Amino acid sequence: MKLSRRIFLTGAAAAATTAVAASLPFSESEAQQSGFQPMKIRSKEIKRFKFSGGQSEQYGPLLFLGGLELSSSNGRFGGYSGLLTLNNGTDIIAVSDRGHWLRGQLSQSSRGKPQKLLNAETATLLDSKGRKLKKTSRADTEGLSIGGSASAPRIFVSHEGKGGIMTYPLNLKTGEERAKHLLIPKEIRSLARNKSLESVAVGPPNSPLSGSIITIAERGKSLDHHRPAWIIGGPKEGKFWIKKQGNYDVTDAAFLPNGDLLILERLFNLSEGLGMRIRQLDGSNLRPNHLHTGKTLLTADFSYQIDNMEALSVHKNTFGETVLSLMSDDNRSFLQRTVLLRFVLTDNDPFREPFERAPKEAKIVPKPKSKPR
């Protein structure tokens, strides 16, 4: 049996997890509640990004502001894989891979250093018929973005399973809002069930892809393939590719104010351990058949304050600086953590790279091994 990241991270502790599950205050009546319900969350500050780091918190073009380690005894807590930051970073909305919303307010410094998560609430996402997503094939919700008109903005949600995209009103008044399901290319539905649409990003007004939807698969047909991405809607509709660099999977994406696209990537295997990477793609050249390499902004391994990093959001703080927020999916394992990390992007120049046509099927073909003599 192939060892997946979730099997490894949760399987090793299955017995212990089962033993403590009964103690979680998550009753059947609570599971049936609809709409937003209060959730008590504990916040522990993360002051340094590297465990044994020096005085400087500058990592290439990123300045670490701070972070939080979040925990809760609520049975709905954890598994967060999509994130939005609003109102200069004070408000957050997250989504878990079991179809649950999380929203709350961050106590933060004027620059955006997170200090504590307050007024947290959770609700179960509903489909277009008002059914809870956890009872459907769309429950594995992964990515979040904001799109739609200025007068009626909406949250775009990507999901694995039978890969797809849904939208909800940005103003979630009750948590009982129903989804609208978008039409997507049929090819997306043929992706591997657990390697499907990890990310969604809607082109900002200043982008050549304004209003278009960018969605990226976690992985191609195999780990040896480049990562496929789709432009849905607009004049540049089609498929492009993100160059495979190492054994990283794409876990999220978000547009920068300058129109470039950031992708968050995660590494996990037995030989290399755990890692995270952020790449910046040329936003002026997002078009069909392009193979993007991008520029690496940050690479981190387990010597840094990371976990299974799956969520990325971008906003501007009160000083007009571009702030990146990252969140981890703890797979609901007590061996892992839910961390929220924040960085200021100190180099806001757009990245440019020439057009490179993707090879047919965009597959990396290993060099043939020489025959033994």
193-249: per-residue pLDDT in tens? 656 788 999 999 888 999 999 999 988 778 888 999 999 998 899 999 999 999 999
Q: How far is CA 154 from CA 54, 177, 178, 240, 354, in A?
A: 42, 11, 12, 25, 33
| Side-chain half-sphere CA neighbours of 328 within 13 A | 27
> DSSP string of 208-258?
TTTT-EEEEESS-SSTTBPEEEEEESSTT-EEEEE---SSEEEEEEEE-TT
On the 0-12 / 13-18 / 19+ scale of CB atoms within 10 A, 292 is buried
Rounded Cα distance, 159 and 140, in Å: 5
CATH class of 38-349: mainly beta
Whole-number pLDDT of residue 107: 98
Whole-number pLDDT of residue 224: 86
Whole-number pLDDT of residue 2: 35
72-89: per-residue pLDDT in tens? 999 999 999 999 999 999
Rounded Cα distance, 196 and 8, in Å: 20
Whole-number pLDDT of residue 220: 78
Whole-number pLDDT of residue 115: 98
Whole-number pLDDT of residue 134: 77
122-151: per-residue pLDDT in tens? 999 999 999 998 766 677 899 999 999 999
SS3 368: coil
On the 0-12 / 13-18 / 19+ scale of CB atoms within 10 A, 173 is exposed
pLDDT along the chain (373 residues), means of 10: 42 38 38 83 97 90 98 96 98 96 98 98 95 79 94 94 89 96 83 72 92 91 88 92 95 96 95 96 96 98 96 98 98 94 98 92 50 47
| Side-chain half-sphere CA neighbours of 347 within 13 A | 13
Q: Are 223 and 257 in contact (CB under 8 A)?
A: no
Whole-number pLDDT of residue 53: 75
Rounded Cα distance, 211 and 182, in Å: 14
Hey, what are 276's tokens?
A: 């995270």
Rounded Cα distance, 366 and 72, in Å: 46
Whole-number pLDDT of residue 6: 47
